[in-house]
Amino acid sequence: MDAAYLSDWANLLLRWLHLITGVAWIGTSFYFIGLDNQLDPPKDGNPRVAGEQWSVHGGGFYHKQKYLVAPERLPEKLHWFKWEAYWTWISGFCLFVLIYWGQASTYLVDPAVLDMAPWVAVLASAALLAGGWVAYDLVCRSPLGENEATLGAIGAAALAAVAFVSCHLFGGRGAFLQVGAMTGTIMVANVAMVIIPGQRKMVEAMRRDEAPDPKYGRWGKQRSVHNTYLTLPVLFIMISPHYPMTWQSRWNWVVLLAIGLSGALVRQFFVLRQKGRNAVWLPAGAAAVVALLVWSGAPERGAGAADAPAFAEVQTIVASRCVSCHAARPTMEGFAAPPKGVVMETPQQIRRWAAAMRQQVQTEAMPPGNLTEITEEERGKLLAWVAAGAPAQ
């Protein structure tokens, strides 16, 4: 069995795991943020209970009470939420290494952006990954971290800077995923390095019959709130590889920033709504931003519409620029099977994929990193052929 084939399976299994653990993590995270925002003052007068909620789910009634700072005695059994987050990161990191580091010359490096050796790209990617967390954590712990509004503004500026740098180092798709991996790493590190250690200290204090220090609760809460705003932007980034019109655009770092901030606005709408406020301008603003992106990114009508070339010419271009990967048995190193099942060896096959070809060729997503060095003229010809209805002659 060859390595590329096994790598496809590793890709599938890791992605599946990443999705499952991510759903579990985000589910509990959204649930607890919502719960916190919807707590009512307790009815039974226990002074340690800060708030409570009754709810009904799955055929039963639930009565939840939040203790601030802690209950009088440590309960015998305490459920922790951490493995969902840890496994999301472990699976995501392995996937990132497998695709973006393992095949850096295809997915991370784009000579049209910056010509660098794959190992240099991998080093830069790793440094950004670690540096992002260190910088974020330092700012949160500094006096700046005490004001949520300041922190929010710094966060937005930092996202802009990271998106800019990443999109000027790597090919668009890799750049987006780099920012996503950095953000995801920050979110999981918040759990592993701040929230869980703080909770441990609180539990240990209670075991020693001491009052737990409320600052750990505050710190944990702050990071958990940050995570909630990062969730929607990260989820967009994780699905972005399917949508080259986002990361192949010339202003891709602005697109990343705009969609990321729109996601945070939408999340803010839900957080406020849970608190009983209805700030509809938030999702309206997000929709306006996205509408602006859709409008401004639209390709000019008839772009590249030279006279449609004869089909034989199309076939020659495809054979020299696409088929090394898109063949039943690819000759390109690292490909065990045709990517996405797209095979373009016979005339029928080429015509079958014409519409998909337009999207991929127009956005310059294909060939990835322009590995096969397609020319602008050839792109124009392929597009003109598709625009003319992909004729068979």
Residues of the shown chain interacting with ligand HEC in the complex, contacts defined by CB under 6 A: 106, 241-242, 321-322, 324-326, 332, 339-340, 342, 353, 356-357, 360-361, 366-368, 371-372, 374
Give min distance, CB of 241 to ligand HEC, in A: 5
In the complex, the smallest distance separating the C-beta of residue 273 from ligand HEC, rounded to whole angstroms, is 35
**What DSSP line would sit under 223-272, residue for residue?**
HHHHHHHHHHHHHHHHHGGG-HHHHSSTTHHHHHHHHHHHHHHHHHHHHH
Q: Minimal distance in Å, beta carbon 283 to ligand HEC?
A: 28
Question: How far apart (Å, rounded) are the C-alpha atoms in residues 264 and 276?
Answer: 18
Query: Minimum distance between the CB of residue 74 and ligand HEC, rounded to whole angstroms?
Result: 49
Q: CB-based contacts of 222: which residues, under 8 Å, 6+ apart?
A: 140, 145, 148
In the complex, minimum distance from the CB of residue 387 to ligand HEC, in angstroms, rounded to a whole number: 15
Q: Specify the residue, 201 or 352, whose C-beta has the smaller distance to ligand HEC.
A: 352
Nearer to ligand HEC, 38 or 316 (CB): 316
> With contact defined as beta carbons under 8 Å apart, do 279 and 269 qualify?
yes
DSSP per-residue letters across 129-187: HHHHHHHHHHHHHSGGGG-HHHHHHHHHHHHHHHHHHHHHHS-HHHHHHHHHHHHHHHH
Q: Which is nearer to ligand HEC, 46 or 375 (CB)?
A: 375
Measured distance CA(198)–CA(220) in Å, rounded: 7
Burial of 213 (0-12, 13-18, 19+ CB in 10 A): middle
Single-letter code of the amino acid located at 152: G
Q: Which is nearer to ligand HEC, 34 or 297 (CB)?
A: 297
Give the angle subtended at the CA of 61 by the CAs of 59 and 63, to the nearest 5°.
155
In whole angstroms, the minimum distance from the beta carbon of 252 to ligand HEC comes to 16
367 close to 342: Cβ distance less than 8 angstroms: no
Complex with ligand HEC: residue 272 or 336, whichever CB lies closer: 336
Work out how close the CB of 103 gets to ligand HEC at its nearest, in angstroms, rounded to a whole number: 8
Which residue's CB is nearer to ligand HEC, number 38 or number 105? 105
Q: Residue 15 corresponds to which amino acid? A: R
Residue 300: exposure state from Cβ atoms within 10 A (0-12, 13-18, ≥19): exposed
Shortest Å distance, C-beta 338 to ligand HEC: 8
Q: Is the peptide bond before 69 cis (omega within 30 degrees of 0)?
A: yes
